[in-house]
Amino acid sequence: MNNQSVSLYFEQDHERLDSLFRKFQELKRTDAPNAKEYFKEFNIGLQRHIVWEEDILFPLFEEKTGAHEVGPTAVMRMEHRQIKKHLEAIHDRVKVGNPDTDADEQLLLNTLFMHNQKEESILYPATDRLLSEAERKSVFTSMDAIPEERYHYCC
């Protein structure tokens, strides 16, 4: 992971998470146990992704740009709160075996789509431009050091 750009690594994680969520959607009405496992992996992965951004990337971006409490990271933090709200609504139904999550899924997907577009077109490329190779490597080292209990909860 240390030889990749921030953009490439985080975009690949977006794709991985999208794939997990699609599998959950495909199976939720026909194979609830497997759908739940896909949702669990998606939920934990998305929570981890948000922790990586809020604990590591955003503060580094803000330090480099001087954009504290304004700019793209402020907007993205607000969107993270919306994402978590939609995710929790789906989680509440999944944990009791209720597949009627379509409305909440649509809200989550709409928010994620716009959010990921901004990250992939603005935040990640700017972060790559701002970081030295040593700083980029420290991002990945810091990501590995975050304890699982910060994001590993579901169902």
Per-residue pLDDT tens over the stretch 83-142: 999 999 999 999 999 999 999 999 999 999 999 999 999 999 999 999 999 999 999 999
Examine residue 1 and state whether it is found in any structural domain, yes or no. Answer: no
Confidence of residue 155 (pLDDT cuts 50, 70, 90): low
Examine residue 93 and state whether it is found in any structural domain, yes or no. Answer: yes
Examine residue 155 and state whether it is found in any structural domain, yes or no. Answer: no
Examine residue 85 and state whether it is found in any structural domain, yes or no. Answer: yes
Which segments of the chain are extended strands (E)?
none
Q: Whose structure tokens read 């169902």?
A: 155
Read off the pLDDT of each residue in 60-69 and give the average, rounded to a whole number.
Answer: 90
Number of domains observed in the structure of the chain: 1
Alpha-carbon distance of 43 to 21, in angstroms, equals 9
Examine residue 47 and state whether it is found in any structural domain, yes or no. Answer: yes
Q: Which long-range contacts (CB under 8 A, 24 or more apart) does 112-115 make?
A: 112/83, 114/79, 115/76, 115/79, 115/80, 115/83
Examine residue 113 and state whether it is found in any structural domain, yes or no. Answer: yes
Question: Where in the sequence is the domain holding 137, given as residue range(s)?
Answer: 6-150
CA torsion sign for 144, 77, 15, 154 is positive
Per-residue pLDDT tens over the stretch 112-127: 999 999 999 999 999 9
Cβ proximity of 44 and 152 under 8 Å: yes
Examine residue 22 and state whether it is found in any structural domain, yes or no. Answer: yes
What does pTM read for this prediction?
Answer: 0.93
